[in-house]
Amino acid sequence: MQRKKLLILSFFLATLHLAAFAQQPKLRVEPAFWWAGMKDPSLQLMLHGDNIGNLKPVLSQTGAEVKDVIKVKNPNYLFINLNLSNAKPGKFTLQLKNGNKTVHRYTYELKQREAGAANREGFNSTDVIYLITPDRFANGDPKNDTVKGMADKLNRSDKTGRHGGDIAGIIQHLDYIEDMGFTALWVNPVLENAQARTSYHGYSTTDYYKVDPRFGSNEQYVALSAQAKQRGIKLVMDMIMNHIGSEHWWMDDLPTEDWLNFQGDFKTTNHRREALQDPYASAYDRRLHTDGWFVESMPDLNQNNKLLATYLIQNTLWWIEYADLGGIRMDTYSYPDPAFMSEWTRRVMEEYPNFNIVGEEWSLNPAIVAYWQRGKKNPNGYTSYLPSMMDFPIQGALTTALRDDESGWDTGWLHLYNVLATDFLYADPQNLVVFPDNHDMDRIYTQLNQDAALTKLALAYILTTRGIPQIYYGTEILMHNEEKDDHGIIRTDFPGGWAGDKTNAFTGKGLTKEQLEMQQFTKKLLNWRKNAKAVQEGELTHYAPYKGVYVYFRQKDNEKVMVILNKNEKPYELELGKFAPELNGVKQGTDVITGRTYDLGQGKITLPNKAPLVLELK
């Protein structure tokens, strides 16, 4: 009987506890946890909850100090600036009090940093980056295809719908990525996108601290990073500082009246990126470029708001530390406030000196792209701390060169030669990311009119020129898009990533002979490049193209590579006399693609038609 009474009493107390817990007001704290021992000991907490603006924060840990508390007009927000100089790893209690009454109680944790976290090495010219659109690569967990409460459901028949690819699918195919020879992995955004439609691409963030559940979880993203790292593959996170999605939780209760640009007065950006460097540009054009919105579903963030600026910087540091990142790709780099982007990159690189960030500035003008790279001395005094840029000028010149004929004095390969010659504009051309295509443009095979031979020439160039190569998933199997400039088709499903696929690019099943040849061609070059120091880091010397042939050399110490790109439809006899300064008496060169050895001592060689040669000189 006594035992029965005790059980009833225990049940009653547990019920009271659960009821009290259920009645406790909701409190959002961001970032939800942090680390002790960061170089910058300051931390700003954003708190959101009903009428918390006048509550007093109290900490239980003496090592963490409240520097100041910032109240905003919206009473549902409170910003707390902490000093963590003397804080040790561990948990402490954050209480929000109304007089002596505790209204909210939150257990905050300062984690122990991993050894060497500050000295992590970002992607560099020894790497080749594989770019993946996660919704379209592989469906590793069908159970998360459709998530309750999220409007954009699975619809694989819709080119702009969600197809079910996820983080689990990438993890399951890391062996393929490693075997191909890639050493870095750039995954298009995986953070929550609770948009009603076309959410698959990830560029309309609705929660900066949460992976979209249709892709997986924060823990799965960390697992992807860890398992990739075990294979020597660095994880590059795709980030967006410029805008959010219209379904972001902020939009229901904006913190301040200036959290967004043109808040309450929607204006579209003019996309006039040149205005930021143009000495004659109007202030109106400059402001409309940076402050205007892409579309109404992408509210433009006002990084001049100091609270928001700190929030975004801390979010970046949080993901680097939490997910053990090996790099960041920053979307639409020139669209946020330029001063903020300078401070954002400075803070990241100060915390992680060996890290790398590549910015997107979609301009074919090298002068516009070079403006944003660290070390560039700009006439208007703008200082950037951004290490790397996406090399759109080289991409545009490469495709133009390959499509153009060689009949004129300034046609064909000369388009590419002339753009590469402008490298004097860059502070560090070796740290540019070069690529044949990406998720926002037609597939390179499509751009080159589905000519596999020209596509091989393009890939041979990208993998042997200066810089850091990036290859989009499916390029290695000649994926193409019949409808040009259609993003839903460009980002089509990788064959073999879904149960029931008749073609499986991971195993080679069902691929055409041409596709298999391209896959093996890419794999051979990628794996050779892993140990080719001359190509990774060496000096580049190129010769003016002549009669459809472009020749350049890469050299580091005693290692030398000669790259010959022949666009001619027929075999071409190449005279070697003018290359004597680089050949320097070398008698043989072995093509890393075919294994064939060429005799260079006879003064000429016969080039295979419409094909690259990548010769190791010995």
Active site residues per annotation? 331, 360
Name the DSSP letter for residue 225: H
Helix (H) or strand (E) holding 191: strand 191-192
At 565 the three-state DSSP class reads strand
Question: Around Cβ 383, how many Cβ atoms within 10 Å?
Answer: 12
Residue 590: φ, ψ to 5°: -105, 125
Euclidean distance between CA atoms 275 and 282, whole angstroms: 8
Name the DSSP letter for residue 115: T
Contact assessment for residue 92 and residue 504, using Cβ atoms and an 8 Å cutoff: no
Contact assessment for residue 454 and residue 423, using Cβ atoms and an 8 Å cutoff: no
Give the residue among 386, 350, 352 at the shortest CA–CA distance from 370.
Answer: 386
* DSSP calls for 502-557: S-BTTTTBT--HHHHHHHHHHHHHHHHHTT-HHHHH-EEEEEEEETTEEEEEEEET
- The token pair at 566 is 């022949």
At 66 the three-state DSSP class reads strand
Q: Is the dihedral of CA 27, 31, 37, 38 positive or negative?
A: negative
Non-local (6+) Cβ contacts of 130 within 8 A are: 177, 180, 182, 184, 185, 186, 470, 471, 473
Helix (H) or strand (E) holding 208: strand 207-211
Contact assessment for residue 340 and residue 303, using Cβ atoms and an 8 Å cutoff: yes
Contact assessment for residue 419 and residue 394, using Cβ atoms and an 8 Å cutoff: yes
Give the residue among 183, 53, 250 at the shortest CA–CA distance from 468.
Answer: 183
